[in-house]
């Protein structure tokens, strides 16, 4: 055996050690290099990809209704704007599951949470389920707005107790604001949650259960323009997809269009005040059952409605936020009928304001000429019935202008008998001309919901009544119709269209409040045009105008317009409305020879036309022309 020195052994041992250390160092260095390379690849090369993936794991996109377009008056003053509101949205993944057929079902916890929310809001849980299931979920993380409008108090409560309501959150949603208060509620209309039938009828994207749409008025008529669709909002969620942060809008829907109306806010205020003043005058004259009325202010040449007033009216701002108030509006037993627009939906006998229509029918059919005279007496007898004139001490032969001026009933009773004789020969001149001039049927108003009205005919009697004696058209029916009584039932708007036709020489205009479509900056992008419905050849309409001028300034309304600086062509009307007082009417245009304005006022149970309606019309003319009402 070879002996080995201690020095040699030490040398070889230390050399192996350093070799091993060196090898380990090289391996370690290689590993660090690989790690550094991988880190560089992850951070630099694939960093954006993983950042996006991480973002997708911590954020979800939800749909929120976009702001609704503004409605402004003819001068650009805001009638209906947008302000911040609160709503309640639920997360489907927390409250339920989607089965293999794609139908969402609430879990036990989800049911309990929805019941608690129902208790707090007064909305049935079934309504929540309906809204959730109609929300067209595209993923387990979709959300649905189940309460489109909530009070601030409920919003604060849910926020403070958020841990008790997992999957339920309060979100900020735009809601309607009304800078001018309840002015114009009758034509602006109401917003409300889309109903099942509306949802089935709509084909527009973005309209889901819980969506807020126009339910009446201009809001309904122009909903496609005003509805802003859906914004995309980003909400922070936890690992289970539950929201843990506020929703922030990241993608805005196509901006909603705005709508400019023909209505003038200043004139609308004047019309609404005029009705209230007319009611006060009726009370002063002993007609204490006068509590309602309507006014139409219109351009007779193109049908632009400058003011459309109905009293009493509802408060649309309160209706949007107060469920109890809204329920009271829908109560059919409420005698105030606040949701009824009396200018377009109220139907009434018109009394003597119908006489100019009857006069044109008589002239056009050749029953009379401008120079014809008929007796004006205190009574007129048909069969066994005696018809009385309002003025008992009269006995004269009058021309048409004179009969219109003093509103002689017996003169027109006789004309009614002449129409009845023609009817026996198959000619319905009076009814046909009333229809042509624009009454007894919808006017084509751009705001939906107007009442059709009625001009009675023998055919209508046969359709309506069953008893043989009820189906006979007697002479007395024609006599009554000639003075705007009997079964006649028309709206103030229809009468305004008829007077516009007489004023403009024969063009039957289509009344409208829509004027122009606006972009999101308030600039006009398209003007709205409404073609006339038809053109008539009127006969001797100047004769009718002469009678109306005389009636306004020296006849039945001479005490009201006698000293008025603008020449008015107008007619009073006193329509019987038993068991209450008569309805008070005034229908007119001005200036008489260059008409710019048609004004029709009706005060329910207001008494004589000259007592309540005519002074109210004078207030409106004074506001428009800038003259003092003396």
pLDDT one-digit tens code per residue, 398-439? 999 999 999 999 999 999 999 999 999 999 999 999 999 999
Six-digit token pair at 126? 């079934």
SS3 508: strand
Residues 281 and 395 in one domain: yes
Residues 310 and 210 in one domain: no
Contacts of 152 (CB under 8 A, 6+ apart): 86
Q: What CATH number is attached to the domain comprising 188?
A: 3.90.1310.10
Mean pLDDT for the chain overall: 86
- pLDDT score at 7: 47
Residue 457 has pLDDT above 70, yes or no: yes
Backbone φ, ψ for residue 115 (5° rounding) = -65, -40
Rounded mean pLDDT, 216-222: 94
Interatomic CA distance for residues 211 and 68, integer angstroms: 12
Rounded mean pLDDT, 192-206: 68
Six-digit token pair at 432? 């046909």
The mean-pLDDT minimum among 34-38, 250-254, 617-621 falls in: 250-254
* Domain finish residue from 260, 275, 295: 260
Share of the chain above pLDDT 70, in %: 80
Share of the chain above pLDDT 90, in %: 58
Of residues 494 and 60, more confidence is placed in 494
Q: Convert the pLDDT of each residue in 265-310 to its tens digit.
A: 999 999 999 999 999 999 999 998 999 999 999 999 999 999 999 9
Residue 450 has pLDDT above 70, yes or no: yes
Rounded mean pLDDT, 473-477: 97
Residue 68 has pLDDT above 50, yes or no: yes
DSSP H stretches of helix in 322-395: 323-329, 355-365
Considering its fold, how many domains does the chain have in total?
2
Of residues 164 and 611, more confidence is placed in 611
Residue 115, domain extent? 59-260
Residues 91 and 210 in one domain: yes
Contacts of 4 (CB under 8 A, 6+ apart): none
Note whether residue 13 is domain-resident: no
Residues 256 and 269 in one domain: no
Note whether residue 389 is domain-resident: yes
Q: CA distances (Å), 294 to each of 166, 480, 600, in order?
A: 51, 24, 8
Identify the CA nearest to 599 among candidates 629, 576, 621, 577: 621
- pLDDT score at 356: 99
Residues 255 and 269 in one domain: no
- pLDDT score at 137: 44
Residues 410 and 553 in one domain: yes
109 in Cβ contact with 93 (< 8 Å)? no
Interatomic CA distance for residues 14 and 32, integer angstroms: 27
Most confident by average pLDDT, 40-44, 122-126, 158-162, 406-410? 406-410
Six-digit token pair at 226? 């005003």
- pLDDT score at 98: 67
The structure tokens 């917003």 sit at: 191
- pLDDT score at 243: 56
Q: What CATH number is attached to the domain comprising 452?
A: 3.40.710.10
Q: Convert the pLDDT of each residue in 316-355 to its tens digit.
A: 877 876 767 877 887 888 888 889 999 999 999 999 999 9
Rounded mean pLDDT, 18-43: 64
Note whether residue 190 is domain-resident: yes
- pLDDT score at 139: 42
Residues 284 and 246 in one domain: no
Note whether residue 613 is domain-resident: yes
Residue 138 has pLDDT above 90, yes or no: no
Residues 197 and 291 in one domain: no
Note whether residue 12 is domain-resident: no
Residues 323 and 384 in one domain: yes
* Domain finish residue from 223, 243, 260: 260
Rounded mean pLDDT, 606-611: 96
Residue 252 has pLDDT above 60, yes or no: no
- pLDDT score at 556: 96
- pLDDT score at 192: 79
429 in Cβ contact with 418 (< 8 Å)? no
Burial class (CB in 10 A: 0-12, 13-18, 19+), 565: exposed
- pLDDT score at 163: 82
Q: How confident is the model at residue 60 (pLDDT cuts 50, 70, 90)?
A: low
Of residues 496 and 42, more confidence is placed in 496
Residues 484 and 356 in one domain: yes
- pLDDT score at 129: 77
* Domain finish residue from 260, 283, 306: 260
Contacts of 362 (CB under 8 A, 6+ apart): 368, 400, 415, 418, 419, 429, 430
Q: Convert the pLDDT of each residue in 350-363 to its tens digit.
A: 999 999 999 999 99
Six-digit token pair at 535? 């053109």
> At 64, which helix (H) or strand (E)?
strand 59-65
Of residues 75 and 17, more confidence is placed in 75
- pLDDT score at 298: 99
Interatomic CA distance for residues 439 and 352, integer angstroms: 15
Residues 210 and 300 in one domain: no
Contacts of 577 (CB under 8 A, 6+ apart): 348, 349, 583, 604, 605
Residue 168 has pLDDT above 60, yes or no: yes
- pLDDT score at 551: 98
Residue 622 has pLDDT above 50, yes or no: yes
> At 462, which helix (H) or strand (E)?
helix 458-464
Residue 67 has pLDDT above 70, yes or no: yes
Residues 343 and 422 in one domain: yes
Residue 210 has pLDDT above 70, yes or no: no
Six-digit token pair at 65? 């209704």
Note whether residue 92 is domain-resident: yes
Six-digit token pair at 58? 């911590």
Residue 134 has pLDDT above 60, yes or no: yes
Q: How confident is the model at residue 4 (pLDDT cuts 50, 70, 90)?
A: very low
- pLDDT score at 34: 67
Rounded mean pLDDT, 216-220: 94
Note whether residue 17 is domain-resident: no
Rounded mean pLDDT, 82-98: 75
The mean-pLDDT minimum among 33-37, 176-180, 587-591 falls in: 33-37
Note whether residue 31 is domain-resident: no
Instruction: Give the count of beta carbons closer than 10 Å to the beta carbon of residue 203.
Output: 6
96 in Cβ contact with 107 (< 8 Å)? yes
Rounded mean pLDDT, 34-55: 58
Six-digit token pair at 605? 């149970």
């Amino acid at each position: 055996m070879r002996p080995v020195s201690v020095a040699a052994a030490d040398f070889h041992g230390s050399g192996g050690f350093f070799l091993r250390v060196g090898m380990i160092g090289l391996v370690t260095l290689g590993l660090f290099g690989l790690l550094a390379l991988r880190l560089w690849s992850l951070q630099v090369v694939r960093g954006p990809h993983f950042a996006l993936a991480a973002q997708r794991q911590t954020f979800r996109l939800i749909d929120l209704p976009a702001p609704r377009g503004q409605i402004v008056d003819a001068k650009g003053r805001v009638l209906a704007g947008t302000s911040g509101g609160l709503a309640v949205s639920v997360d489907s993944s927390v409250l339920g599951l989607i089965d293999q057929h794609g139908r969402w079902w609430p879990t036990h916890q989800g049911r309990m949470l929805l019941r608690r929310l129902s208790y707090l809001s007064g909305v049935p849980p079934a309504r929540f389920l309906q809204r959730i299931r109609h929300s067209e979920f595209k993923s387990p993380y979709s959300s649905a707005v189940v309460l489109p409008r909530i009070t601030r108090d409920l919003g604060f409560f849910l926020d403070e107790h958020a841990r008790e309501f997992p999957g339920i959150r309060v979100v900020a949603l735009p809601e309607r604001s009304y800078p001018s208060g309840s002015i114009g509620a009758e034509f602006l209309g109401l917003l409300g949650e889309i109903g099942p039938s509306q949802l089935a009828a709509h084909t527009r994207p973005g309209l889901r259960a819980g969506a807020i749409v126009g339910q009446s008025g201009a809001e309904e008529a122009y909903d496609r323009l005003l509805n802003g669709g859906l914004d995309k909002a980003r909400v922070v969620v936890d690992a289970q997809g539950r929201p843990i942060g506020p929703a922030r809008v990241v993608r805005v829907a196509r901006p909603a269009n705005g709508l400019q109306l023909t209505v003038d806010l200043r004139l609308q205020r004047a019309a609404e005040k005029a009705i209230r003043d007319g009611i006060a005058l009726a009370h002063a004259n002993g007609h204490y059952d006068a509590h309602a009325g309507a006014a139409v202010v219109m351009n007779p040449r193109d049908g632009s409605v400058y003011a459309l007033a109905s009293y009493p009216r509802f408060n649309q701002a309160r209706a949007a936020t107060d469920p109890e108030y809204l329920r009271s509006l829908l109560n059919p037993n409420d005698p105030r009928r606040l949701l009824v627009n009396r200018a377009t939906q109220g139907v009434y006998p018109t009394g003597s304001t119908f006489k100019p229509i009857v006069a044109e029918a008589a002239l056009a059919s050749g029953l009379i000429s401008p120079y014809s005279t008929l007796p004006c007496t205190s009574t007129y007898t048909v069969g066994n019935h005696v018809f009385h004139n309002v003025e008992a001490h009269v006995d004269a032969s009058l021309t048409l202008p004179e009969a219109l001026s003093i509103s002689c009933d017996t003169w027109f009773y006789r004309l009614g008998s002449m129409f009845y004789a023609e009817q026996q020969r198959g000619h319905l001149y009076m009814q046909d001309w009333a229809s042509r001039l624009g009454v007894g049927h919808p006017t084509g108003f751009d705001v939906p919901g107007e009442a059709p009205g009625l001009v009675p005919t023998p055919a209508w009697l046969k359709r309506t009544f069953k008893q043989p004696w009820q189906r006979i058209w007697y002479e007395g029916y024609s006599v009554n119709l000639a003075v705007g009584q009997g079964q006649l039932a028309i709206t103030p708007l229809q009468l305004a269209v008829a007077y516009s036709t007489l004023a403009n020489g024969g063009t039957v205009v289509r009344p409208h409040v829509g004027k122009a479509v606006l972009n999101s900056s308030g600039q006009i992008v398209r003007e709205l045009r409404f073609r006339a419905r038809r053109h008539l050849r009127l006969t001797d309409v100047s004769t009718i105008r002469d009678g109306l001028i005389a009636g306004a300034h020296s006849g039945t309304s001479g005490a009201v317009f006698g000293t008025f600086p603008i020449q008015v062509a107008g007619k009073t009307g006193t329509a019987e409305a038993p068991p209450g007082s008569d309805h008070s009417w005034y229908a007119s245009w001005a200036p008489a020879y260059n008409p710019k304005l048609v004004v029709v006022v009706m005060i329910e149970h207001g008494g004589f036309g000259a007592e309540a309606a005519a002074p109210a019309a004078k207030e409106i003319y004074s506001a428009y022309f800038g003259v003092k009402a003396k």
